[in-house]
A and B are shown apart, each in its own frame.
Chain A
Amino acid sequence: GDSVTQMEGPVTLSEEAFLTINCTYTATGYPSLFWYVQYPGEGLQLLLKATKADDKGSNKGFEATYRKETTSFHLEKGSVQVSDSAVYFCALRGMNYGQNFVFGPGTRLSVLP
């Protein structure tokens, strides 16, 4: 079945550092790919998404590119802020009607001032 693998956390960075959180997936066809973010004490919210190969999703300075050849969707940000401290989840959903969402285990990011 479909699956998502994320790098193990927690990740601790200093403010203004470069961030990469790796995400790879296993799925048939061309699933839609998502990054969700969960800030402390809140529910998950969509950060960005991509729906086909070579698409780049971007939001709030974060970017991720849908790489079909490497089945990856790595999350990047050039300069993190303390306010980016959160848990980040990579997820996918197959293209066909009635597909379930599949989530990775989440990566906790802490940004220090």
Chain B
Amino acid sequence: EAQVTQNPRYLITVTGKKLTVTCSQNMNHEYMSWYRQDPGLGLRQIYYSMNVEVTDKGDVPEGYKVSRKEKRNFPLILESPSPNQTSLYFCASSFAGGRAGEKLFFGSGTQLSVL
């Protein structure tokens, strides 16, 4: 089954304790992206990647890191989490484009709470 898998689904941590949220896709997609969703602020892009070893900042990259060493994986790293990073996070993937209508597949989300 074609899917984007995020882990963990829920995470509670404390300020300053490094964490990684994993994201993996099984569709051979070049494009992967991370979003955060906060009430009243919609969906905001954190980082995206067009292919292995190619990453770009989105709208709200501060406090986050990503890496794309393999095509299927795109982990989100919070080196020193702070309470303002408490949010619902989504990973998504797609082909890189150039063909009309290529859609974006989303993971189920990771609810992060930073105390």
Contacts and interface: CB of A to CB of B under 8 A. Distances in A.
Contacts of B24: none
Interface in A54-113: 89, 91, 93-101, 103-106
B9 to A, nearest CB: 11
B101 A32 contact: yes
Interface of A: 32, 34, 36, 42-46, 49-52, 89, 91, 93-101, 103-106
Contact of A98 (B96, B104, B108): B96
10 contacts: A34-B104, A36-B106, A43-B106, A46-B103, A89-B43, A94-B97, A98-B50, A101-B94, A103-B42, A106-B42
Contacts of A104: 42
B97 A43 contact: no
Contact of B97 (A52, A97, A103): A97
Contacts of B98: 95-98
B102 A32 contact: yes
B90 A43 contact: yes
A34 B77 CA distance: 29
B2 interface: no
B33 A44 contact: no
B79 to A, nearest CB: 25
Contacts of B50: 98
B97 A95 contact: yes
A24 to B, nearest CB: 16
Which of B45, B96, B100 has the most chain A CB atoms inside 10 A of its CB? B100
A56 B11 CA distance: 41
A45 to B, nearest CB: 7
B107 interface: yes
A105 B90 CA distance: 15
Given A43-B108, A45-B106, A101 B33 contact: yes
A99 B43 contact: no
Closest 7 CB pairs of A and B: A105-B42, A97-B98, A51-B100, A43-B106, A51-B101, A44-B106, A99-B97
Nearest to B51: A98
